[in-house]
Homo-oligomer: A and B are copies of this chain.
Amino acid sequence: MGKILFKNARILKMNGEDIFISNLVTNDNLIEYIGDDYEPYGPFDRIIECNENLLMPGFKNAHTHHPMSILKSYADDLPLHEWLFDKVFPIEAKLSEEDVYEFTKLSILECFASGVTACFEYYFHYYAMLKASEEMGMRTYMLLTPSLPEEELAAIHEQYSDPEGLITTCFGLHSVYTPTPEFYEMIIRLVNKYHTPFYIHASETPNEVKECMELRNMTPVQFVESMDLFKYGGGIYHGVVLNDNDYEIIKKHNLTVVTCPGSNTKLASGIADTEKMVKNNVNVAIGTDGPASNNGLDMFKEMWLVTGLQKLLHNDPSAMDAKCVLEMATINGARAMNLTNSDILEVNKFADIILIDLNKPNMRPIHNIVKNLVYSGSKDVVKLTMVDRKIVYEDGKFYVNQDVDEIYKKCQYLADKLTK
């Protein structure tokens, strides 16, 4: 794309500074300049008149399983165990590389339309997911677990070791209730060899914690720590059910908790106490979870739920203010994914940015833009999404070097084939 001038924008850097009206210049994949005196940075390949709309860092979806969009609205309104074991797992067992490739692309479209510029992705069929992410241009932090032999996992991790690359990886496990002893051993070796953060679904439901206690006399978080897997940091997805000792472990290793309020609500898992986490200075990021358990990839919905559910949980309308939620959805997510080069708008950071249309009825009047975003925002206010030097979404259209209608058609064909 070369050089783009975003002219006359409200700029929300997310570094604590107030919003101000100015200009932002991107050069290739980086922010080159923010300020009034932009002319020396020209000539520009494109000048985007922002009309005082809002330029801000893109959202970071810190927990998702993109290929699961194949199961969107296939089996809802069922008890968790039945949903997972009778509906999800049997279909997953039949998934091909092609299914995973097409449905990852479908989900990435939804992300771009929601202003998401980076995803913390976890599923299987890695080669298909990596191909889809690269082709679509989605910044991806991918969790690698033992669904491939150890040497292949290591090779993928090494291939994507450039911290400036579009895709980076770390290691983890699905949960404490699925892996075999060999899987634990494999991941312990890989984490220790590559010094990577470790992530896992943990403490998602009361039942999961109860069963872990019965089996091991430890909570899931305690069990993971007992294997020294948090040595290089990382964190947990969900964290609905945490005790004081879990908090000690989370604080000791500076772990992230990725809260997934949409999924936890729809699956009746409970409400994670993110208010308590924030008060304990835990890095809380936000994830949609997979589109089969939510069923969307909409960070506006998740942001609203994070604050709304805390207000309900604590019986206190003043719980969890909007600014804190917006930080979770942006900088905290970047931190969770080790993407500290795309957390805020600043010179030499990645130009992973979104333009929010403030000329929409739900964004008016402007008393407080951050509150408008969190309490009134919706996907339709995303005017433009830019990731890794490319504008991938603008004014309702996708620019992903793919025939979008073909993706829809292919996905329908594959979904029908799989579920019939």
Binding site for B on A (CB under 8 A): 69-74, 76-80, 83, 106-107, 109-110, 113, 262, 265-268, 270-271, 291, 294-298, 301, 304-305, 307-309, 311-312, 314-322, 359-362, 364-368, 371-372, 375-376, 378-380, 396, 405, 408, 411-412, 414-416, 419
Contacts and interface: CB of A to CB of B under 8 A. Distances in A.
B79 A318 contact: yes
Q: Copy number in this complex? A: 2
A320 B265 CA distance: 13
Contacts of A314: 268
A366 B412 contact: yes
B321 A77 contact: yes
A72 B311 contact: no
Q: Interface centre among A71, A271, A361, by most B CB within 10 Å?
A: A361
B77 A368 contact: no
B270 A312 contact: yes
Nearest to A71: B367
B74 A367 contact: yes
A19 to B, nearest CB: 13
B265 A308 contact: yes
Residue in A79, A296, A317, A376 with the greatest tally of chain B CB atoms within 10 Å:
A317
Nearest to A416: B365
A33 B109 CA distance: 37
A155 to B, nearest CB: 31
A361 B298 CA distance: 11
A265 B72 CA distance: 26
B271 A312 contact: yes
Given A265-B309, A378-B296, A361 B318 contact: no
